Structures are given as C-alpha cells and as structure tokens.
Amino acid sequence: MGDSYAVLIQASIQQTNRPIVQQTNSPPMRVLLQRVSSASVTVDEKITGRIGPGLLILLGIEEADTIEDVEWLCGKISRLRIFGDDEGLMNRSVTDVDGGLLVVSQFTLYGSTKKGNRPSFIRSAKPPVAIPLYEKFVKTLAFVAAREVATGVFGADMKVALVNDGPVTIWMDSRNRE
C-alpha cells in the first residue's frame, strides 16, 4: 500500500473534509456465531464441552490480533440480540435468555482459496500468539457474560456437533466492528 495509499487518504480528506476508513493489511479477529439448541465438542471420544440453548462460537485468531479485539468481540457477543422474545422477534441476548456459550478455536476461518485448490492458512496465528489470545477470549467472555464458558481443546482434532437454531449464523470481525 505504502505512499500511494497515503495519497489516496489525503485526496479523500481534501475532497470530503473527512478521512476514509483506514484499512489495515492484517485481517481482523474472526468469529462465526451460531445460535444453537445444543452443541458439543468431542476430543478423543471424550466430550470436552457441551451446552444446551445458546451460542457456538468458532474463533479465528490472526498474528496482529490484540486484547482490544478480544474485549470488543466478547462485549458484542454477550449483548448481541439474536434470541427471540415473547413475540418471536430477535430482541434478547444470550445473557438475557441464560444461554450457554461454547468456544471452539478454528484456525481455518483464515483459510485462503485465492491460489490453487488447497487452502492456505498462513494468516492464522501460530500457537505462541493464538493460545494466550484464545485463553483471554474465553476468560473475558465468561466475565462479561457472567457465566461459565464451555470449550474445545486448542489445536486438537475436534468433532463439533450442533443443532443450529433458526438457523441463525452471524459472521463478525473485530476490525470493521461488525
């Protein structure tokens, strides 16, 4: 991007009197949320995490992710109104309905299929970066949502079972705050 990108930002400021949203080279922390009737994770034929109605959270971590990304996502997830109220409208959060939370690390959320037929996962954070952020995500979510968070096992070959409710599936990223 370099100098040409800086020129583009300056041109935008001069034309509109406000900067365009600055993009970064690094991708955001990624989350795929699924509202579920139930979900579980099995590792080596042993269930490591199980919930009833609630949210299955597939979490992808990239090298440039920070604690700020963790905090924003955990706050947003705990307040996101995607559960039905008495009239069937999505007006309740997972905390409002006392729902369960199951977090599964998912490096494949950074899979790139741009080149060739075998996905590249080079953008996924390596364990020395990813594990502390994953653990911080789980602890922060438990604190913010005021409930226990079930998990898979980081880096393990996991079998994830779920009954998607709705279906309601939402993609979130921490850079665009959406």
Domains of the chain (ranges, CATH numbers): 26-173 (3.50.80.10)
Which active-site residues does the annotation give?
108
Return mean pLDDT, the chain: 84
Three-class SS state of 117:
coil
Label residue 162 by pLDDT band (50, 70, 90). very high
Note the pLDDT tens digit of each residue in 43-69.
999 999 999 999 999 999 998 889 999
Spatial distance between the Cα atoms of 8 and 107, rounded to a whole number of angstroms: 33
pLDDT bracket for residue 27 (50, 70, 90):
low
DSSP per residue over 18-55, as a string?
SPPPPP-SSPPPEEEEEEEEEEEEEETTEEEEEESSEE
Where does residue 28 rank: exposed (0-12), middle (13-18), buried (19+ CB within 10 A)?
buried
Strands 83-84 and 46-51: unpaired
Confidence of residue 123 (pLDDT cuts 50, 70, 90): confident
Q: How far is CA 127 from CA 105, 167, 169, in A?
A: 11, 32, 27
Between 8 and 104, the higher pLDDT residue: 104
Look at 4 and 118; give whichever has higher pLDDT: 118
For the entire predicted model, the pTM comes to: 0.81
Residue 165 pLDDT > 90, yes or no?
Answer: yes
For residue 168, the 8-state DSSP code is: E
Residues whose CB is less than 8 angstroms from the CB of residue 88 and which lie 6 or more positions away in sequence, other chains included: none
Q: Is the peptide bond before 28 cis (omega within 30 degrees of 0)?
A: no
Spell out the residues 6+ positions from residue 140 whose beta carbon is closer than 8 angstroms to its own.
Answer: 70, 71, 74
* Residue 24 vs residue 58, higher pLDDT: 58
Sign of CA dihedral 115, 121, 124, 126: negative
Helix (H, G, I), strand (E, B) or coil at 167: strand
